[in-house]
Chain A
Amino acid sequence: NAGVMQNPRHLVRRRGQEARLRCSPMKGHSHVYWYRQLPEEGLKFMVYLQKENIIDESGMPKERFSAEFPKEGPSILRIQQVVRGDSAAYFCASSSWTGGPSGANVLTFGAGSRLTVL
């Protein structure tokens, strides 16, 4: 029963290149979250997706960043024209939460993808 799978674990890009980070949620989970962890900082929410829908992208930078979670396949976080400030660990989490005020499921996190921009 694999957990949340992220790849690549480490990615090096030069300024101006594109970075694509992939996340396969846990089996049975249809909710995916992306968080960014800058060096020596806590995690910051970026985007929340369900299959084929972006539910909340209030934490996404307005430019160069996009995310998708297609009907088939993993969720993708795409960063175009990377800059040095994009260097960070990007964590994906998934849950089976079905909504409503009654509670919150635990988010299961992947091991993270560490992006280094040269």
Chain B
Amino acid sequence: AQKVTQAQTEISVVEKEDVTLDCVYETRDTTYYLFWYKQPPSGELVFLIRRNSFDEQNEISGRYSWNFQKSTSSFNFTITASQVVDSAVYFCALLVVAGAQKLVFGQGTRLTINP
């Protein structure tokens, strides 16, 4: 069975601080994808990144960066120089390729950036 754990339920930081959101996953499959989605207060889900299990290169996109480590089954997300607009709930998700491609989501981390 697949499982995603986001141990941090809520994080609150002051604007311009760096913040890391943790994600740990479980799967016995060797081919899978990991995702991060952002859910702002308006409620929609915004895709941020997809990473496949064979690509452990870290990725940076502006102030966002992702650290994928298969050895620890983690896919952590860092926001550098946080801004108030980053306030949202962030979900990590796992998709196993075999089968119907169902996304398994973590519980989410509510991030609040205070001015």
Contacts and interface: CB of A to CB of B under 8 A. Distances in A.
B75 to A, nearest CB: 15
Given A44-B105, A112-B43, A56 B100 contact: yes
Contact of A42 (B50, B91, B98): B91
Interface residues of A, number: 27
Interface stretch (A11-19, A62-70, A77-85, A96-104): A96-104
B44 A109 contact: yes
B103 A107 contact: yes
Nearest to B44: A111
B11 interface: no
Contacts of B91: 42-43
Nearest to A112: B43
Interface in A55-76: 55-56, 58-59
B79 to A, nearest CB: 20
Contact of B95 (A58, A59, A101, A104): A104
Interface of A: 33, 35, 41-45, 48, 55-56, 58-59, 89, 91, 93, 97, 101, 103-104, 106-112, 114
Interface of B: 4, 6, 31, 33, 35, 37, 42-45, 47, 50, 52, 91, 93, 95, 97-108
What are the 8 tightest A-B residue pairs by CB atom distance, in nearest-first order?
A42-B105, A109-B45, A56-B100, A111-B44, A45-B102, A43-B105, A42-B107, A104-B33
